[in-house]
Amino acid sequence: EVQLVESGGGLVQPGGSLRLSCSASGFTFSSYAMHWVRQAPGKGLEYVSAISSNGGSTYYADSVKGRFTISRDNSKNTLYLQMSSLRAEDTAVYYCVKGPRQWLSMNWFDPWGQGTLVTVSS
Amino acid sequence: EIVLTQSPGTLSLSPGERATLSCRASQSVSSSYLAWYQQKPGQAPRLLIYGASSRATGIPDRFSGSGSGTDFTLTISRLEPEDFAVYYCQQYGSSPVTFGQGTKLEIK
């Protein structure tokens, strides 16, 4: 069974940093692109970032470019999202999701992790 | 970027009825690269449909997707109590990936 388990969320002050992790199991992690999608409280879904299977290509939404860094460790089956210069509008549940392909494009998302809540507030 | 507009915002129906949810794109979605997700309160979204009409693994056949170009539809043929949730469409044919704002399917 494919499983994605996020961790690392919490309360952080504006301007602070946080690193999210996503531990993957049940599939060959190094063969698939991985993605982060977030959902602000009571709002819809926003595509945040993606990384190709070998880590050679990355994508960032304009809203997080220059502040967030996605990475992966295929030896540990783990995906990361390093978030810095956090703002109140970054408050959301962050989901780790798997795509069906090695590359960044043409991906639907299945499955989704349970999500980890990031709250940016003073 | 492609903007997806879902309608209606809220749909009130009774179990056993047929539900028709719409997703309209601001420009053509290439190769029908459109997916549908279901999200229940406090849960992560779940993939229902990809490629506009292909059901994901384990999804009951009362869920079906159709459409092409700019107009797509998710149909639930006979509503079960567990189908009342929020539904999102997503296009993945053009960068950036975008989602619709969601349709809430509630019990009448």
At B77-108, the pLDDT tens digits run 999 999 999 999 999 999 999 999 999 999 99
Q: Which amino acid is at B18?
A: R
How close does chain B come to A3, measured CA to CA in Å? 13
Question: Rounded distance, CA A91 to CA A51, Å?
Answer: 22
CB burial readout B41-77, b (16+ within 10 A) else e:
eeebbbbbbbebbebbeebeeebbbebeeeebbbebe
**Residue A19's closest CA among A99, A75, A100, A73?**
A73
Check CB contact under 8 Å for A45 and B46. Answer: no
d(CA B78, CA A105): 34
Chain-chain contact of B37 with A109 (C-beta, under 8 angstroms): yes
pLDDT for B31 equals 81
DSSP chain A: --EEEEE--EEE-TT--EEEEEEEESS-GGGS-EEEEEE-TTS-EEEEEEE-TTS--EEE-TTTTTTEEEEEETTTTEEEEEE-S--GGG-EEEEEEE-SSSSSSS-----B---EEEEE--
Task: Name which of A93, A112, A94, A106 is nearest A24 in CA terms.
Answer: A112
Residue A44 to residue B101, Cβ atoms within 8 A: yes
What per-residue confidence (pLDDT) applies to A106? Answer: 84
In this prediction, residue A44 has a pLDDT band, given cuts at 50, 70 and 90, of very high
Of B107, B83, B85, nearest to B13 by C-alpha is: B107
Which residues 14-73 in chain B show a CB within 8 A of chain A?
33, 35, 37, 44-47, 50-51, 56
What percent of chain A shows pLDDT beyond 90?
Answer: 95
Cβ separation of A111 and B47 shorter than 8 Å?
yes
* pLDDT confidence of residue B32: 87
Strand partners, A24: A4
Question: Percentage of chain B surpassing pLDDT 90?
Answer: 96
Confirm if B98 and B3 have CB atoms less than 8 A apart: yes
